[in-house]
């Protein structure tokens, strides 16, 4: 039998006579240590880079001018904040080097790169929108304007984005190279510190850092306030724990919000009622009115310009419109019905507040329906692309008798074409020639003053025309000068639309921010610059006077009707009031935000020293909650010490009573009785929301077991499932 035996080779020996396996093990350990040190240095280098940028960027005033802490204290605090952001990766590197091996350590690199990228994106949002990346308000804004964002993508913007990404990647490569150089192991052992000495030196180095940071930690309330007000200087705010603004926020589970939601459920039929009333609306002409004689009704033109802020209607920026307005109505405190184009247009076209915008497709367009009833031909002229802005439901060819959409090219060309078509429409020439001489109304949409502020090279304004107090971290004086020029172009291009025999109204769809409220463009806040717009009216039947009370887009339709001598069969349907009559002193108007459920309320009789009041109102989600008084940039004027209550929200309750026929008079009472009624509704949406609210009542849920049992027989499966889950939870809690 053959027997095999294993041959034992002698251990490999190097030239010095040392065991080679020991040498390899030692080298492997050294390589692991070098890799660990390199990764730690890379993480710390990224942290230091972020800290330096946060401390020394020039987008806002210097950090020492904004802080009550010493400069060294701010430096140490910001540095510790950035190290805190890198701390998970630092811990992972140390743990993985000890237990998992070198390959696992490299997973810390994506964390460092990701934190760096997120910080700079968050910083850009802070500068341009006063929002954090990980905030509910930015999420709401993104959902609202996301479908429109491609409208703003240009080759210049793409080039800038690519350039910034390249710079950022180069920065990451440089930091990795620096970490690699610094982590090289010295060949001279004598140059290395022993561990005890290193610990002593580290302790000594930390003493001044702790001393500098200690005042910030001991006075934490002051430090937290500083982090809130100077968020762009504190990288830790990227976590989204601190809000970048003091804008009123909805607390959906507060007692006041619960009471409000129950009130909305109890009145869920109001929108349907308004839709039905609108469908039945009839208009008649008062033959005794000299303007409203049906045989000589005047033509009407309504011009809606993008971003037509109230403060830019001046003798220099809009000389023609300014001169015409001196012989007509001048609304000095006019507010759009929303801070976006679709919400602004809705108020103009329907005479209703924008909280009813989602019902636009169920109603005839008010300004068209009522005027067609008395013989008007209708036309719309503007830039194409209305489906992008959710306005196709009321600005489309199947809504207007004549419709012309200019090609989406440069806005200057589109606006010229739109005005030329509208002039032909009124002159009854070209494609609009007819043997029947009917009065006509045209809505003309001018896009040039929108970002990127297109204008012809008339160069009316210089940088000297930009207000001296113009200060912006996100916009230059050149941007504002171009905006003024685009307004001047708009004034010049629309002038052929007007004559002495034609009623005309000119307004903006919303305002525009150049950093006055810490933001750019519009749609991001209910601030004064984003909501207040210019508005003038002139022509036959329009008096020469100034209206110095708060007015809104919803007032234009009732004003036009009175100007032509028309009467509505349902006088209380429109939520606006004719500006040919004195504006009631107790009247409250509203402006809606596109990015949230917020409503700005402005009262002519408010006693509070504030711009307005922001509350929360939304039919789609049955939201009704109090908010707070805000200043001109949309921030709360007083810090809140607790949840908002209906007792402190008189202006919102007054607005509800004015517009909803006092159906919200019992707002603030216990919600249980209301929920007993709403859960028995035939509307599945109402029942589902009632069940959700019942689930928020905690121990009081057991009061609704009988009603929940009835819901198990509801035709809608979603209702049955929701009711079963609550009943199942109640059964389990009763057993325990």
pLDDT at 467: 67
Encode pLDDT of 225-249 as tens digits: 777 778 888 888 888 777 777 888 8
b or e along 273-301 (b: 16 or more beta carbons within 10 Å of the residue's beta carbon)? ebbeebeebebebeeeeebbeeeebbbbb
Candidate ranges 98-107, 113-122, 443-452; pick with highest mean pLDDT: 113-122
pLDDT at 20: 44
Do the first three CATH levels of 269-583 and 670-735 match, i.e. the same topology?
A: no
Q: Using an 8 Å Cβ cutoff, are 344 and 405 in contact?
A: no
pLDDT at 297: 92
Cβ-defined contacts of 477-483 (< 8 Å, 24+): 479/453, 479/514, 480/514, 482/452, 482/453, 482/455, 483/307, 483/312, 483/449, 483/453, 483/512, 483/514
Picking from 459, 442, 462, 446, the residue whose alpha carbon sits closest to that of residue 412 is 446
Superfamily of domain 269-583: Alkaline Phosphatase, subunit A (3.40.720.10)
Encode pLDDT of 518-557 as tens digits: 888 888 899 999 999 999 999 999 999 999 999 999 999 9
With cut-offs at 50, 70 and 90, classify the pLDDT of residue 61. Answer: confident
Torsions phi, psi for 101 (to 5 deg): 110, 165
pLDDT at 1: 41
The whole-chain average pLDDT of the chain stands at 83
Residue 251, number of CB atoms within 10 A of its CB? 16
pLDDT at 31: 74
With cut-offs at 50, 70 and 90, classify the pLDDT of residue 18. Answer: very low
State the architecture of 670-735 in CATH terms. Answer: Alpha Horseshoe (1.25)
Q: Which residue has the higher pLDDT, 301 or 136?
A: 301
Q: State the average pLDDT over residues 442-454.
A: 83
Encode pLDDT of 596-618 as tens digits: 889 999 998 776 788 999 999 99
Q: Which residue has the higher pLDDT, 261 or 478?
A: 261
Residue 563, H or E segment: helix 556-563
Q: Domain ranges for the chain, please list them.
A: 25-186+193-239, 269-583, 670-735
pLDDT(9) > 60? no
Q: State the average pLDDT over residues 316-336.
A: 94
Q: State the average pLDDT over residues 67-77.
A: 77
pLDDT(12) > 80? no
pLDDT at 493: 92
pLDDT at 618: 94
pLDDT at 2: 41
Determine which of 15-19, 160-164, 289-293, 517-521 has the lowest per-residue pLDDT on average. 15-19
Query: What is the DSSP annotation of 80-111?
Result: HHHHHHHHHHHHHHHHHHHHT-HHHHTTHHHH
pLDDT at 105: 81
Determine which of 206-220, 349-363, 540-554, 638-652 has the lowest per-residue pLDDT on average. 206-220
pLDDT(391) > 80? no
| pTM attached to this predicted model | 0.84
pLDDT at 472: 62
| 8-state DSSP, 593 | -
Encode pLDDT of 343-377 as tens digits: 999 999 999 999 999 898 888 888 888 888 899 99
Encode pLDDT of 669-706 as tens digits: 788 889 999 999 999 999 999 999 999 888 888 899 99
Q: Which residue has the higher pLDDT, 404 or 205?
A: 404
Q: Which residue has the higher pLDDT, 461 or 530?
A: 530
- Whose tokens are 């052929």? That residue is 496
């Amino acid at each position: 039998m053959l027997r095999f035996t294993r041959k034992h080779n002698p251990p490999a020996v190097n030239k010095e006579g040392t065991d080679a396996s020991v040498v390899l093990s030692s080298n492997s350990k050294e390589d692991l240590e070098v890799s660990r040190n390199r990764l730690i240095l890379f993480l710390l280098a990224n942290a230091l880079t972020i800290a330096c940028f946060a401390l020394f960027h020039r987008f806002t005033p210097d950090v020492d001018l904004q802080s009550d802490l010493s400069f060294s204290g701010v430096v140490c605090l910001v540095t510790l904040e950035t190290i805190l952001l890198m701390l998970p990766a630092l811990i992972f590197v140390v743990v993985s080097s000890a237990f998992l091996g070198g390959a696992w350590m490299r997973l810390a690199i994506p964390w460092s790169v990701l934190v760096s990228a997120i910080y700079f994106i968050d910083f850009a949002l802070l500068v341009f929108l006063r929002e954090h990346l990980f905030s509910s308000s930015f999420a709401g804004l993104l959902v609202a304007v996301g479908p429109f964002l491609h409208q703003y993508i240009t080759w210049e913007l793409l080039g800038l984005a690519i350039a910034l990404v390249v710079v950022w990647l180069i920065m990451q490569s440089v930091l990795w190279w620096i970490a690699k150089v610094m982590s090289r192991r010295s060949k001279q052992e004598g140059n290395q510190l022993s561990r005890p000495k290193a610990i002593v030196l580290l302790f000594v180095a930390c003493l001044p850092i702790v001393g500098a940071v200690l005042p910030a930690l001991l006075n934490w309330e002051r430090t937290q306030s500083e982090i809130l007000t100077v968020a762009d200087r504190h990288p830790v705010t990227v976590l989204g724990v601190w809000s970048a603004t003091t804008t009123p926020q909805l607390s959906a589970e507060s007692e006041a919000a619960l009471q409000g939601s129950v009130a909305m459920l109890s009145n869920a039929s109001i929108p349907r009622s308004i839709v039905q009333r609108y469908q039945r609306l009839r208009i008649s002409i008062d033959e005794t009115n000299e303007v409203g004689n049906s045989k000589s009704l005047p033509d009407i033109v309504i011009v809606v310009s993008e971003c037509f802020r109230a403060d830019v209607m001046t003798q220099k920026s809009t000389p023609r419109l300014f001169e015409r307005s001196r012989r007509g109505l001048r609304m000095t405190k006019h507010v759009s019905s929303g801070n976006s184009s679709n919400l602004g247009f809705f108020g103009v076209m329907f005479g209703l507040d924008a909280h009813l915008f989602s019902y636009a497709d169920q109603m005839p367009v008010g300004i068209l329906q009522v005027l067609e009833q008395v013989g008007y031909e209708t036309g719309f002229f503007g830039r194409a692309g209305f489906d992008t802005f959710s306005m196709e439901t009321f600005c489309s060819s199947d809504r207007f008798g004549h419709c012309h959409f200019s090609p989406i090219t440069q806005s200057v060309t589109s606006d010229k074409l739109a005005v030329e078509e509208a002039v032909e429409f009124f002159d009854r020439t070209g494609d609009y020639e007819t043997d029947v001489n009917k009065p006509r109304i045209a809505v003309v949409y001018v896009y040039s003053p929108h970002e990127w502020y297109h204008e012809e090279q008339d160069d009316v304004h210089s940088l000297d025309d930009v207000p001296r107090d113009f200060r912006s971290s996100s916009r230059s004086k050149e941007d504002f000068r171009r905006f003024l020029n685009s307004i001047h172009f708009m004034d010049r291009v629309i002038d052929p639309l007007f004559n002495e025999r034609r009623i005309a109204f000119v307004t903006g769809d919303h305002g525009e921010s150049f950093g006055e409220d810490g933001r750019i463009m519009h749609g991001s806040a209910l601030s004064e610059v984003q909501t207040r717009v210019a508005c003038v009216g002139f022509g036959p039947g329009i008096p020469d006077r100034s209206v110095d009370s708060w007015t809104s887009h919803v007032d234009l339709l009732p004003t036009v009707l009175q100007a032509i001598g028309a009467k509505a069969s349902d006088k209380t349907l429109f939520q606006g009031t004719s500006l040919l009559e004195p504006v009631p002193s107790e009247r409250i108007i509203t402006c809606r935000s596109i990015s949230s459920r917020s409503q700005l309320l402005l009262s002519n009789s408010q006693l509070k020293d504030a711009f307005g009041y922001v509350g929360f109102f939304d039919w789609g989600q049955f939201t009704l909650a109090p908010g707070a008084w805000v200043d001109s940039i949309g921030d709360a004027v007083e810090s809140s010490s607790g949840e908002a209550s209906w007792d402190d929200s008189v202006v919102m309750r007054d607005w509800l009573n004015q517009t909803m026929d006092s159906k919200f008079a019992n707002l603030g009472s216990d919600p249980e009785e209301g929920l007993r009624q709403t859960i028995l509704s035939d509307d599945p949406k109402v029942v589902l929301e009632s069940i959700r609210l019942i689930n928020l009542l905690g121990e009081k849920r057991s009061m609704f077991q009988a009603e929940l049992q009835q819901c198990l027989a509801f035709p809608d499966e979603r209702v049955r499932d929701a009711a079963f889950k609550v009943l199942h939870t109640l059964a389990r809690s009763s057993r325990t």
